[in-house]
Amino acid sequence: MAKSIEARDLNIYYGSFRAVEGVNMSIRPAQVTALIGPSGCGKSTFLRSINRMHEVIPGAYVEGSLELDGENLYDAAADPVTVRRQIGMVFQRPNPFPTMSIYDNVIAGYKLNSKKSNKTATDELVERSLRGANLWNEVKDRLDKPGAGLSGGQQQRLCIARAIAVRPDVLLMDEPCSALDPISTLAIEDLINELKTEYTIVIVTHNMQQAARVSDYTGFFNIEGTGKPGKLVEMDETKTIFSQPREKATEDYVSGRFG
Protein backbone atom coordinates (compact mmCIF):
# COMPACT_ATOMS: atom_id res chain seq x y z
CA MET A 1 0.00 0.00 0.00
CA ALA A 2 1.37 3.40 -0.95
CA LYS A 3 2.64 5.31 2.08
CA SER A 4 3.87 8.82 2.78
CA ILE A 5 7.42 9.82 3.67
CA GLU A 6 8.34 12.72 5.88
CA ALA A 7 11.89 14.02 6.20
CA ARG A 8 12.62 16.45 9.02
CA ASP A 9 15.83 18.43 9.47
CA LEU A 10 17.73 15.73 7.66
CA ASN A 11 21.51 16.03 7.40
CA ILE A 12 23.37 13.31 5.51
CA TYR A 13 27.07 12.63 5.94
CA TYR A 14 29.92 10.71 4.34
CA GLY A 15 32.28 10.61 7.31
CA SER A 16 32.94 14.24 8.25
CA PHE A 17 31.56 15.57 4.93
CA ARG A 18 28.01 16.88 5.20
CA ALA A 19 26.67 16.12 1.72
CA VAL A 20 23.04 17.15 2.32
CA GLU A 21 21.76 19.66 4.86
CA GLY A 22 18.47 20.50 6.51
CA VAL A 23 16.00 18.69 4.26
CA ASN A 24 12.35 18.99 5.24
CA MET A 25 10.17 17.21 2.75
CA SER A 26 6.71 15.64 2.66
CA ILE A 27 6.36 12.98 0.01
CA ARG A 28 2.75 12.17 -0.71
CA PRO A 29 1.43 8.63 -1.03
CA ALA A 30 0.43 7.29 -4.44
CA GLN A 31 2.04 10.23 -6.22
CA VAL A 32 5.23 10.62 -8.22
CA THR A 33 7.80 12.97 -6.71
CA ALA A 34 10.74 13.99 -8.89
CA LEU A 35 14.04 15.22 -7.46
CA ILE A 36 15.95 17.54 -9.78
CA GLY A 37 19.05 19.72 -9.50
CA PRO A 38 22.62 20.01 -10.74
CA SER A 39 25.05 17.13 -10.42
CA GLY A 40 26.51 16.67 -6.95
CA CYS A 41 23.72 18.44 -5.06
CA GLY A 42 22.81 15.29 -3.12
CA LYS A 43 19.74 13.92 -4.91
CA SER A 44 21.00 10.32 -4.97
CA THR A 45 22.36 10.61 -1.45
CA PHE A 46 18.98 11.78 -0.20
CA LEU A 47 17.22 9.02 -2.16
CA ARG A 48 19.48 6.33 -0.67
CA SER A 49 18.90 7.64 2.84
CA ILE A 50 15.17 6.94 2.46
CA ASN A 51 15.63 3.17 2.40
CA ARG A 52 18.76 3.13 4.56
CA MET A 53 21.06 2.17 1.70
CA HIS A 54 23.18 5.21 2.48
CA GLU A 55 24.50 3.71 5.69
CA VAL A 56 26.06 0.69 3.97
CA ILE A 57 28.95 2.98 2.97
CA PRO A 58 31.56 2.95 5.78
CA GLY A 59 31.35 6.14 7.84
CA ALA A 60 28.06 7.23 6.26
CA TYR A 61 25.20 8.30 8.53
CA VAL A 62 22.22 10.63 8.85
CA GLU A 63 20.92 13.07 11.46
CA GLY A 64 17.32 14.17 11.78
CA SER A 65 14.31 12.01 11.07
CA LEU A 66 12.68 10.09 8.26
CA GLU A 67 9.25 8.57 8.70
CA LEU A 68 7.19 6.15 6.64
CA ASP A 69 3.54 6.81 7.48
CA GLY A 70 4.63 8.15 10.86
CA GLU A 71 7.03 5.31 11.67
CA ASN A 72 10.61 6.29 12.27
CA LEU A 73 12.72 4.45 9.68
CA TYR A 74 15.85 5.07 11.76
CA ASP A 75 14.42 3.87 15.05
CA ALA A 76 16.89 1.73 16.96
CA ALA A 77 14.42 -1.15 16.68
CA ALA A 78 13.85 -0.74 12.91
CA ASP A 79 15.49 -3.46 10.83
CA PRO A 80 17.22 -2.03 7.72
CA VAL A 81 16.40 -5.20 5.77
CA THR A 82 12.69 -4.73 6.49
CA VAL A 83 12.98 -1.05 5.57
CA ARG A 84 14.47 -2.03 2.19
CA ARG A 85 11.64 -4.46 1.59
CA GLN A 86 9.09 -1.73 2.29
CA ILE A 87 11.01 0.79 0.20
CA GLY A 88 12.35 -0.77 -2.99
CA MET A 89 14.92 0.68 -5.33
CA VAL A 90 15.57 0.73 -9.06
CA PHE A 91 19.00 1.86 -10.23
CA GLN A 92 20.44 3.77 -13.15
CA ARG A 93 21.86 0.71 -14.88
CA PRO A 94 19.47 -2.21 -15.10
CA ASN A 95 21.05 -4.82 -12.84
CA PRO A 96 19.28 -8.16 -13.26
CA PHE A 97 21.33 -11.17 -12.18
CA PRO A 98 22.69 -11.95 -15.67
CA THR A 99 22.88 -15.74 -15.60
CA MET A 100 19.72 -16.20 -13.53
CA SER A 101 16.52 -16.92 -15.45
CA ILE A 102 13.89 -14.24 -15.94
CA TYR A 103 11.62 -16.20 -13.59
CA ASP A 104 14.22 -16.43 -10.83
CA ASN A 105 15.16 -12.78 -11.25
CA VAL A 106 11.59 -11.75 -10.48
CA ILE A 107 11.49 -13.73 -7.25
CA ALA A 108 15.11 -13.07 -6.17
CA GLY A 109 14.19 -10.42 -3.59
CA TYR A 110 11.00 -12.22 -2.61
CA LYS A 111 12.92 -15.41 -1.79
CA LEU A 112 15.25 -13.49 0.52
CA ASN A 113 12.30 -12.04 2.36
CA SER A 114 9.88 -14.90 2.78
CA LYS A 115 9.44 -18.49 3.66
CA LYS A 116 9.05 -21.20 1.06
CA SER A 117 5.86 -21.01 -0.96
CA ASN A 118 4.39 -23.48 -3.39
CA LYS A 119 4.97 -23.51 -7.13
CA THR A 120 1.50 -22.28 -8.10
CA ALA A 121 1.73 -19.32 -5.75
CA THR A 122 5.21 -18.48 -7.04
CA ASP A 123 4.06 -18.78 -10.67
CA GLU A 124 1.23 -16.39 -9.89
CA LEU A 125 3.57 -13.94 -8.22
CA VAL A 126 5.94 -14.01 -11.21
CA GLU A 127 3.10 -13.41 -13.64
CA ARG A 128 1.54 -10.66 -11.53
CA SER A 129 4.88 -8.88 -11.08
CA LEU A 130 5.77 -9.12 -14.77
CA ARG A 131 2.32 -7.90 -15.76
CA GLY A 132 2.71 -5.09 -13.23
CA ALA A 133 5.96 -4.11 -14.94
CA ASN A 134 4.40 -4.28 -18.45
CA LEU A 135 6.78 -7.08 -19.40
CA TRP A 136 4.68 -10.26 -19.24
CA ASN A 137 3.67 -10.43 -22.89
CA GLU A 138 7.24 -9.98 -24.05
CA VAL A 139 8.76 -12.70 -21.86
CA LYS A 140 6.04 -15.22 -20.98
CA ASP A 141 7.39 -17.79 -23.46
CA ARG A 142 10.97 -17.58 -22.22
CA LEU A 143 10.78 -17.30 -18.46
CA ASP A 144 13.56 -19.90 -18.09
CA LYS A 145 16.00 -17.89 -20.23
CA PRO A 146 18.69 -15.66 -18.64
CA GLY A 147 17.82 -12.09 -17.72
CA ALA A 148 20.88 -10.89 -19.65
CA GLY A 149 19.18 -11.87 -22.94
CA LEU A 150 16.70 -9.01 -22.68
CA SER A 151 17.15 -5.52 -24.13
CA GLY A 152 18.17 -2.70 -21.80
CA GLY A 153 14.62 -1.41 -21.50
CA GLN A 154 13.28 -4.90 -20.82
CA GLN A 155 15.98 -5.48 -18.22
CA GLN A 156 14.95 -2.30 -16.44
CA ARG A 157 11.32 -3.44 -16.43
CA LEU A 158 12.54 -6.81 -15.11
CA CYS A 159 14.23 -4.95 -12.25
CA ILE A 160 10.97 -3.12 -11.60
CA ALA A 161 9.14 -6.49 -11.58
CA ARG A 162 11.71 -7.77 -9.05
CA ALA A 163 11.20 -4.64 -6.93
CA ILE A 164 7.39 -4.90 -6.89
CA ALA A 165 7.37 -8.68 -6.29
CA VAL A 166 8.02 -8.04 -2.58
CA ARG A 167 5.03 -5.66 -2.47
CA PRO A 168 6.78 -2.54 -1.24
CA ASP A 169 5.03 0.66 -0.16
CA VAL A 170 7.47 2.95 -1.93
CA LEU A 171 9.63 2.67 -5.05
CA LEU A 172 12.78 4.76 -5.31
CA MET A 173 14.19 5.24 -8.79
CA ASP A 174 17.64 6.70 -9.36
CA GLU A 175 17.76 7.98 -12.95
CA PRO A 176 16.07 4.79 -14.16
CA CYS A 177 16.07 5.83 -17.82
CA SER A 178 19.46 7.43 -18.23
CA ALA A 179 20.94 4.29 -19.82
CA LEU A 180 17.94 3.69 -22.09
CA ASP A 181 16.92 4.72 -25.61
CA PRO A 182 13.95 7.11 -26.08
CA ILE A 183 11.38 4.38 -26.81
CA SER A 184 12.36 2.33 -23.76
CA THR A 185 12.35 5.54 -21.74
CA LEU A 186 8.75 6.26 -22.72
CA ALA A 187 7.80 2.68 -21.80
CA ILE A 188 9.26 3.19 -18.31
CA GLU A 189 7.53 6.57 -17.97
CA ASP A 190 4.18 4.99 -18.91
CA LEU A 191 4.85 2.28 -16.37
CA ILE A 192 5.64 4.83 -13.64
CA ASN A 193 2.32 6.48 -14.37
CA GLU A 194 0.51 3.15 -13.91
CA LEU A 195 2.48 2.12 -10.81
CA LYS A 196 1.68 5.26 -8.87
CA THR A 197 -1.84 4.06 -8.12
CA GLU A 198 -0.28 1.40 -5.87
CA TYR A 199 3.08 2.79 -4.89
CA THR A 200 4.57 6.05 -3.75
CA ILE A 201 7.29 6.82 -6.28
CA VAL A 202 10.35 9.02 -5.85
CA ILE A 203 12.48 9.49 -8.95
CA VAL A 204 15.80 11.25 -9.38
CA THR A 205 16.18 12.57 -12.88
CA HIS A 206 18.49 15.01 -14.61
CA ASN A 207 16.03 15.18 -17.48
CA MET A 208 13.66 18.05 -16.79
CA GLN A 209 11.23 17.07 -19.54
CA GLN A 210 10.99 13.72 -17.82
CA ALA A 211 10.30 15.33 -14.45
CA ALA A 212 7.60 17.46 -16.08
CA ARG A 213 6.07 14.43 -17.83
CA VAL A 214 6.01 11.88 -15.03
CA SER A 215 5.82 13.68 -11.72
CA ASP A 216 3.09 15.28 -9.65
CA TYR A 217 5.51 17.02 -7.27
CA THR A 218 9.05 18.20 -7.84
CA GLY A 219 11.79 19.02 -5.36
CA PHE A 220 14.67 21.18 -6.55
CA PHE A 221 18.04 20.62 -4.83
CA ASN A 222 20.97 22.95 -5.23
CA ILE A 223 24.51 23.41 -4.02
CA GLU A 224 26.27 26.71 -3.42
CA GLY A 225 29.77 25.50 -4.27
CA THR A 226 32.15 22.56 -4.15
CA GLY A 227 32.46 21.09 -0.68
CA LYS A 228 29.21 22.75 0.44
CA PRO A 229 26.20 20.63 1.34
CA GLY A 230 23.30 20.22 -1.05
CA LYS A 231 19.97 21.67 0.09
CA LEU A 232 16.36 21.39 -0.92
CA VAL A 233 15.60 24.83 -2.36
CA GLU A 234 11.89 24.31 -2.88
CA MET A 235 9.29 21.69 -3.47
CA ASP A 236 5.86 22.11 -4.96
CA GLU A 237 3.47 20.75 -7.51
CA THR A 238 5.44 20.03 -10.66
CA LYS A 239 3.47 22.53 -12.73
CA THR A 240 4.24 25.27 -10.21
CA ILE A 241 7.95 24.45 -10.11
CA PHE A 242 8.13 24.62 -13.89
CA SER A 243 5.93 27.68 -14.40
CA GLN A 244 5.99 29.84 -11.27
CA PRO A 245 8.69 28.75 -8.84
CA ARG A 246 9.17 30.88 -5.74
CA GLU A 247 12.96 30.94 -5.87
CA LYS A 248 15.14 32.51 -8.53
CA ALA A 249 17.60 29.59 -8.42
CA THR A 250 14.76 27.21 -9.30
CA GLU A 251 13.66 29.38 -12.17
CA ASP A 252 17.21 29.62 -13.51
CA TYR A 253 17.60 25.86 -13.31
CA VAL A 254 14.30 24.85 -14.89
CA SER A 255 14.74 27.40 -17.67
CA GLY A 256 18.11 25.84 -18.46
CA ARG A 257 20.27 28.78 -17.36
CA PHE A 258 22.58 26.53 -15.34
CA GLY A 259 23.23 22.93 -14.37
> Can you tell me which of 42, 94, 147, 176 binds ligand ADP, judged by CB under 6 A?
42
Selection from 35, 29, 2, 6 nearest residue 175 by Cα: 35
Q: Are 36 and 221 in contact (CB under 8 A)?
A: yes
Segment contacting ligand ADP by CB under 6 A, of 32-40, 111-119, 125-133, 154-162: 32-40
* Site membership for ligand ADP, residue 259 (CB under 6 A): no
Alpha-helical runs (H) found in the chain: 43-50, 80-86, 102-113, 119-132, 136-139, 152-165, 182-195, 208-214, 238-243, 248-254
* Site membership for ligand ADP, residue 89 (CB under 6 A): no
- Distance, CA of 102 to CA of 166 (rounded, Å): 16
DSSP H/E element including 202:
strand 200-204
Min CB(59)–ligand ADP separation in Å = 8
Question: Residue 174 carries which DSSP code?
Answer: E
- Distance, CA of 232 to CA of 219 (rounded, Å): 7
- Distance, CA of 235 to CA of 218 (rounded, Å): 6
| Percentages (nearest 5) of helix, strand, coil residues in the chain | 40, 25, 35
* Site membership for ligand ADP, residue 80 (CB under 6 A): no
> Can you tell me which of 7, 36, 41, 126 binds ligand ADP, judged by CB under 6 A?
41
Q: Which residue lies nearer to ligand ADP by CB, 110 or 253?
A: 253
> Can you tell me which of 2, 5, 10, 19 binds ligand ADP, judged by CB under 6 A?
19
Segment contacting ligand ADP by CB under 6 A, of 37-45, 62-70, 107-115, 139-147: 37-45
Q: Which residue lies nearer to ligand ADP by CB, 44 or 210?
A: 44
List binders of ligand ADP among 198-237 (CB under 6 A): 230
Using CB under 6 A, count the residues that bind ligand ADP. Answer: 12
Segment contacting ligand ADP by CB under 6 A, of 33-41, 85-93, 95-103, 127-135: 33-41
> Can you tell me which of 10, 13, 33, 45 binds ligand ADP, judged by CB under 6 A?
45
Rounded to the nearest 10 degrees, what angle do helices 102-113 and 152-165 cross at? 30
**Residue numbers of the site for ligand ADP (CB under 6 A)?**
14, 19, 37, 39-45, 57, 230
